[in-house]
Structures are given as structure tokens and as C-alpha cells.
Amino acid sequence: MEAKVKWYECSGGTENDVVVSTRLLLSRNIEGFPFCGRMRASDRQKTLQTVLSAMEDENSMLAHAFSFIPLWQISKEEAVSYVERRLASPEFVSRADGKGIFVTEDESSSVFVNGGEHILMQTVLPGLALERCYETLDLLESNLGKLLPFSFDGQLGYLTQNPADLGTGLHAALMLHLPGLDYNGAVPRVAAGLSNLGMDLRSGYEMENQASLYQLTSRVTLGISEQETLYNLKSMAQQVLLQERSARQAVGSSLKFQDTVARSLAILRQAKLLSCKECMELLSNVRLGVACGLVQSVGYEKIWSAMLQVQPATLALLAGQAPDGEQEEALRAAFVNRLLAERLA
């Protein structure tokens, strides 16, 4: 049976020239269980079994939609790959005891058990897709809530161990590609302005630093509705998009930039050795080239898919071996050569 295409290999959403992906996270705890920070090993197992029974309940539409991954049974390489592919956080995979992940085949929806909270639900889609993500997340939460009693207070909302998640428990994040603002050094100024409005703009993982990728995230969950969270994030994102596109106009029209895109494309198609850092920088250049109309025959999804799959652990899993040094760089170059050869021109 042919494997289902992953969400990051698909096109979709809007504002794709700047918005790489949309991610929504929803925290819930189960009434009658201690918070994760106070759990013993037996509590973790009981919580995990409770969620497992709910997710596999034959009367629920969730029963056959998710696969279960016991975190303690996977290799370190697989765990790191989940982080590289944005399926899980480094904090979640750092300790495996009593933890599990439920994930759909395309990896667009997932449920994490016994991380910072008992349950963390996640949906992620390409481009700007806040409404679609929320519809999926709301359906997931509604079905799980029919089978599990979530901890709730009439005044405070949904109760969480982390005070930052109290209230709706909803966090929304957009992955943005901001090479224009990076080039003119404006990112710190933009980030400071957003911080005053309850938003964070930061480059979290190393691969994001190498490719002008930034996460725009909502901070406030208490005293605000889910719809307000989404509206506020979308409004702030539109302002960042305007500034990024303005910065790109100055960069994209220069002969020097056009040469950079052409050279980046040639290296990606012909190189025999590529470090992860160099590969990410080159892919970022080509992505901006697509946005500026300099590269015509490739979709943004192809570049994002490449950015995720050339990461060390994910590349090793794809290759079926654990290369290092020059061997890893050779595998990365060969992978990108094949991926881009037929589509880029």
C-alpha cells in the first residue's frame, strides 16, 4: 500500500510566499489526575492508558484515524526526526517514560500524552490556514471531550499546569519565511513591536536560523476567546507580511540577488557534498527566488519538504543508515539533486 503524502509535501493555505505553515496547539488535563509535574510513574501509565482507551474507542470517529507511537519504544534517531519534522518538541522527546503520540498518517494532526500537560492536541497545515486548522482541532477536542472529563473552572476556563496555557489552552503559531527583513536587519525591531502586543516572533531551532524562518506565536490564552486568538494572530501576521514584501522588493530587483538565486539553484542541482547549514541557506535563497518570480516551475511545498527531510536524523532514516561526516553530506546532496532536478529550471 502506497504511503500517504505528508502535510508538508502538499500545497494549500494562502499567503504561501511568506507563510510556510500554520500550527494550532490545544492543552487539556483530565479531571481527577495529578498534573504532570507531580505524577509518579504509575500515574503516567494510568493517564496514558486512559487516553489510549478513549482514542481507540470503537464508538468514536477517532478510533481508526490515528496510529499510536509509544515514545519509549522508538530509537533516539526516530525521536530526533520527530523534532526535525515539527511533529514533536525537543522537551517532549527528551524523556520517554509514560509518554505517547497519536498521529494521523499525513502527520497533520497529533495528540501528545504526558508532556507538560496530560494532553496536547496539535494540527498543522501549509500556508495561512488558521480557520481550517481550528475546525480540525475543534472536532478532535470535541470527540475526545465526549470520552474524557477535562479539568475546567467556570471562572478560569480549562485548568493547566502551565499558567501560560490557562483559559482556552489554545496557542496559535505561524512559520514565516522572512529573508527580506533578515537582510535589512529589521527582525529585532519588528519582534519588539509584536512583543508589546502579546505576540512572539522568534527563530527557535537551529535550522530556522539558517533559513530566515521565524515563528509568530500568540501568548495570551486567559480572558480571550479562541476566535479572538486567531483573529489577533492573523491581523499581526498581515502587518509582518506587508513589511516583508516591501523589503523583498528592494532585494529582489537587484542583479546581485538574481545571481545568488541562480547560483543557489545550480549548487542544489549539481553539488556532490552539502552540509545541512549550506543546504538550508541555499533552499532559503531559492524559496525567495520563487516568491520573486525568478524560479517558475517549483512549488513552495517542494522546498519546505526538502528543508525538513535534509535534517540529519530524518535523512538517516530515509537512507536506512546512520551516516556521518562526508557520507552524510554526500547523501544530502544526492537527495536534493533528485528532489529538485525534475522540478527546478
**pLDDT tens per residue across all 345 residues of the chain:** 456 799 999 888 899 999 999 999 999 999 999 999 899 999 999 999 999 999 998 888 888 899 999 999 999 999 999 999 989 999 999 988 899 999 999 999 999 999 999 999 999 999 999 999 999 999 999 999 999 999 999 888 899 998 888 899 999 999 999 999 998 899 999 999 999 988 999 986 666 677 999 999 988 777 889 999 999 999 999 999 999 999 998 887 889 999 999 999 999 999 999 999 999 999 999 999 999 999 886 789 989 999 999 999 999 998 888 788 899 999 999 999 988 875 444
Residues 6+ away with beta carbon under 8 Å from 2: none
Cell of 284: 532559503
Domain 7-248, CATH among 1.10.10.10, 3.30.590.10, 3.60.40.10, 3.40.640.10: 3.30.590.10
Question: How far, in Å, are 193, 218, 228, 232, 236 from residue 196 at the CA level?
Answer: 5, 12, 17, 13, 12
Give the per-residue pLDDT at 1: 46
Q: Report helix angle 300-309 to 312-319, nearest 10.
A: 90
Distance separating alpha carbons of residues 336 and 309, to the nearest angstrom: 9
- How many angstroms separate the Cα of 19 from the Cα of each of 16, 265, 296, 330? 5, 22, 19, 30
Question: Could you state, in order of their start, the residue ranges of all structural domains in the chain?
Answer: 7-248, 255-341
- Measured between alpha carbons, how far is 123 from 138 in angstroms, rounded to an integer? 10
Q: What is the pLDDT of residue 165?
A: 85
Residue 93, burial from CB neighbour count under 10 angstroms (0-12, 13-18, 19+): buried
Nearest-CA neighbor of 270 among 209, 202, 340? 340
The single residue listed with the C-alpha cell 476566535 is 227
